């Protein structure tokens, strides 16, 4: 049983550059780190570093030191415990409402007096990641709005669901049924709880696991807001799990990573429909060949 506590690892890079931060993040994504934040001083951050988050029970300082030792730039790191209660308070105090195209609002329970939109989502943090990178969430929601007619009445998969935002929106768009999967048990529980807060609990099933669970069904749309390496590794499984003509919306990676994702998708018979970007983050929408 896990405690629900996380370790925040602050990694200092010398010299700092976004490229060096992305290289480090890619290395750590092969370990059980679940979320990353790059504090880039060129974007107004007070310090230049990379923050990585991992469940306390999975943190291994020696393994981290070994992985980072292979880089050709200087790195130091500092780890600290973030108890579940502290993470929840921090998340909710910093999370601002997201309003997408005047049609979708994503807010925490403390946000009051907001104008109502067509789709209104209330999200409790419950120690789950999934709404920290607002740019990726924003773009996937935009893509869902563009393809709302194709989501309605279809079986939808929210892969790497985090707090369940995308799956909940799909349910509110009247998807026939929604499945939500996350490798973190805290995230799967969070998505389950948030689905009920938003009164769509009967339409969403939440599971803890990885892409191997996808093979149990076929989906009309698959949403994957996760790291590039995971998406590329799992694209073959995504392709097998999608119905012919089904949609795949991918985000969670930088625009510089898009060519690698597009190339692998093409090899799996998934064609690019559209590409959008926001603050150097990318969102790609594909369709499986008929």
Mean per-residue pLDDT, 146-163: 95
Spatial strand order of the sheet with 74-82 comes to 35-39, 49-55, 6-14, 74-82
Residue 137 has pLDDT above 90, yes or no: no
Mean per-residue pLDDT, 133-158: 92
Contact 230, 29 (CB under 8 A): yes
Q: What share of the chain is helix, strand, coil (3-state, %, to 5)?
A: 40, 30, 30
- Where is pLDDT greater, at 88 or 23? 23
Max mean pLDDT range (51-55, 99-103, 252-256): 99-103
Mean per-residue pLDDT, 198-203: 96
Residue 119 has pLDDT above 90, yes or no: yes
Q: What is the pLDDT of residue 219?
A: 97
Sorted by sequence, the CB contacts under 8 Å of residue 149 that are 6+ apart come out as: none
Peptide bond into 15 cis (omega under 30): yes
Residue 44 has pLDDT above 70, yes or no: no
Mean per-residue pLDDT, 74-97: 75
Residue 207 has pLDDT above 90, yes or no: yes
Residue 15 has pLDDT above 50, yes or no: yes
Name the packing angle between helices 185-197 and 165-172 (round to 10°).
30
Residue 117 has pLDDT above 70, yes or no: yes
Neighbours of 88 (CB within 10 A): 17
**Exposed (0-12), middle (13-18) or buried (19+): which is 220, by Cβ within 10 Å?**
buried
Residue 1 has pLDDT above 50, yes or no: no
- How high is the mean pLDDT of the chain? 87
Mean per-residue pLDDT, 246-270: 94
Residue 169 has pLDDT above 80, yes or no: yes
Give dist(CA 276, CA 101) in Å, integer.
Answer: 15
Q: Which two tokens stand for residue 230?
A: 């995971």
For residue 132, name the pLDDT band (cuts at 50, 70, 90). very low
- What's this model's pTM, rounded to 2 decimal places? 0.79
Q: Is 1 helix (H, G, I), strand (E, B) or coil?
A: coil
Give dist(CA 172, CA 268) in Å, integer.
Answer: 30
Mean per-residue pLDDT, 241-264: 94
Beta-sheet strands, E only, within 97-241: 98-100, 104-107, 119-122, 155-159, 177-182, 204-208, 219-225
Q: What is the pLDDT of residue 135?
A: 83
Q: Which 8-state DSSP code applies to residue 71?
A: S
Q: Strands 74-82 and 242-254, how do they pair?
A: unpaired
Question: Three-class SS string for 233-264?
Answer: HHHHHHHHHEEEEEEEEEEEEEHHHHHHHHHH
Least confident of 188-192, 240-244, 285-289: 188-192
Give dist(CA 167, CA 161) in Å, integer.
Answer: 7
Nearest to 82 by CA among 129, 40, 137: 129
Mean per-residue pLDDT, 51-72: 89
Catalogue all structural domains in the chain, each as residue range(s) with its CATH number.
Answer: 6-82 (3.30.70), 133-288 (3.40.50.150)
Q: What angle do CA 183, 185, 188 make, to 5 degrees?
A: 85
Q: Is 269 helix (H, G, I), strand (E, B) or coil?
A: coil
Q: What is the pLDDT of residue 61?
A: 93
Reported as type and span, the H/E element at residue 194 is helix 185-197
């Amino acid at each position: 049983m896990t405690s629900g506590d996380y370790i925040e690892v602050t990694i200092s890079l010398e010299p700092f550059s976004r490229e060096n931060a992305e290289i480090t993040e890619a290395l750590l994504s092969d370990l059980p780190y679940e979320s990353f934040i790059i504090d880039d001083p060129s974007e107004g951050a007070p310090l230049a570093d990379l923050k990585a988050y991992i469940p306390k029970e999975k943190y291994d300082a020696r393994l981290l030191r070994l992985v980072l030792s292979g880089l050709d730039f200087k790195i130091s790191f500092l780890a600290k415990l973030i108890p579940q209660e502290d993470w929840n308070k921090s998340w909710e105090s910093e999370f601002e409402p997201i309003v997408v195209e005047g049609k979708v609002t994503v807010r925490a329970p403390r946000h009051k007096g907001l104008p109502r939109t067509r789709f209104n989502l209330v999200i409790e943090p419950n120690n789950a990641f999934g709404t920290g990178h607002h740019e990726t969430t924003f773009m996937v929601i935009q893509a869902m709005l563009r393809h709302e007619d194709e989501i309605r009445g279809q079986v939808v998969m929210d892969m790497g669901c985090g707090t369940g935002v995308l799956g909940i929106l799909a349910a509110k768009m009247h998807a026939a049924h929604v499945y939500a999967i996350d490798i973190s048990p805290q995230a799967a529980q969070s998505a389950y709880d948030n689905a009920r807060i938003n009164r769509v609990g009967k339409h969403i099933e939440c599971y803890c696991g990885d892409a191997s669970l996808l093979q149990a069904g076929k989906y009309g749309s698959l949403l994957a807001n996760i790291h590039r390496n995971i998406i590329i590794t799992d694209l073959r499984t995504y392709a097998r799990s999608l119905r012919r003509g089904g949609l795949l919306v991918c985000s969670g990676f930088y625009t510089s990573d898009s060519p690698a994702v597009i190339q692998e998708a093409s090899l799996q018979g998934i064609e690019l429909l559209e590409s959008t970007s926001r603050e150097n983050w990318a969102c790609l929408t594909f369709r499986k060949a008929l």
